[in-house]
Structure 1
Amino acid sequence: MSSRPRIDLNCDVGESFGRWQLGHDLDLMRYVSSVSVAAGFHAGDPSTIRATVEAAAEHGLQIGVHVALPDLLGFGRRIMRIDPRDLLDYCTYQIGAVTAFAQAAGARVQHVKPHGALYVMASREAEIAHAVALATARADPDLTLLLLDDTCAETVAETGVQLATEGFPDLHYDDDGQLVLERTKAEWVPEDVAGRALDMVLNHGVTSLGGRRIPVSAPTLCLHGDAPNAVSVARRVRRTLDDNGVDVVPLNTLLSRS
């Protein structure tokens, strides 16, 4: 086995809706190894899901489901107090939709990743994490669930689902290690994002807005597709990782399973 460092690069895709287009999915797929496909609750519609899944399969990427709160108007970024039983149904519905399109494309879903406000809630609140994890387990116990850190690891483990944590080189962290979410994605300097990504891979950390060192030990890094220069950022990150001997591989090849 190679001793070179390895990392998965993932991107959230399929976040268009009807005639409204967001992101640069096809261009971004050239630089990442995994994608999470919006399933209709914060963005995405049947035709967008189909086309996105087909493109991901053609690129040989690991496919995941980007589950969200029912918030098209707020793009899934508004906190909603949802009964965990309802959330279980919401997530089951979304996982099923993307899974069906993946099967039709001759591919398979391999992970689930909450979006926006649900991501924050599931990474911090055990009851919410359990609902998302349980929906994941009931759909397929071999699926991986992506969250920010291992705060709710014990709750997730109770469902039998494997947890993978994420790093975010194109978002700021506060001094408590929480993400600073933007209402509208800012234009990052590609070299800055690439440097942060390399720091996360090689040194397992990132510097917060307040100058504090935040530990980041994650098998996958997320690059957002809704920044104005998202493709330039992804291209630079991938080139920097390649130039520094880091292999970019799909997430599930990095995870040990009992």
Structure 2
Amino acid sequence: MSLLEWFLDPAHWSGADGIPMQIGVHLFYSAVALALSLLFAVPLGIYIGFTGKGEGIVAGIANALRALPTLGLLVLLFLLLSPVVPGQLVYGIPTVIVLVLLAVPPILTGTYAGIQAADTEAVNAARGMGYSQVQILWFVQLPCALPLLLSGVRSSTLQIVSTATVAAYLGLQGLGRFILDGRAQGDFSQMAAGAILLAALALILELAFIAVGRLIVSPGLQRTTRAPRKIVPTTAIRLTAS
């Protein structure tokens, strides 16, 4: 069966193992991991950016988390939790923990770096107008931090979505099933289809984040690339006229 035939087969678009269901399960794992990452990383990032405390320690921990082997950590957590966690949770909890550990560093870094990079003149102007430190954080620093914060969330989301395929190694559903089952069955069309679906999902989410960024980020903070205007020297104009 060719790749096109695999996609055109109605059996692959219905049922518990169909493409819509697998995409839904994949997005469910990803959404849970992203929500937990935001709940942990954003408040901690705001605290670090606001107080300047713990930045070096957090940066070191974040770099260490990025170096963790995802699949090895998944298997280790499964072995540690299997004696104490009942039912299907023993498969879902390790997967979510691995995804959260992967997603926290970009969100955390983007949050506190964005707050610290807020325009000094805007902060001083707000302070001169009598704003309290909390008001400066809420009305000046956080809006200025939105581009970097969203960039961290977008990076984390794409990493979560691409890495959530490891759930299939524990027998869970998701787009990783197509890749893993296709490899086990020698069905390369199924493997390629799983990879294409995963890439398409990541691309759609990337475009969605770009659209959200344009909607919620102040136009003054959006970096736009414009071609510089060509200025003709007045001497050249005079020579041409003469």
Fold conserved between structures, TM > 0.5: no
Larger radius of gyration: 2
Greater per-residue helix proportion: 2
Tell me the TM-score normalised to structure 2 length: 0.22
Tell me the TM-score normalised to structure 1 length: 0.21
Greater per-residue strand proportion: 1
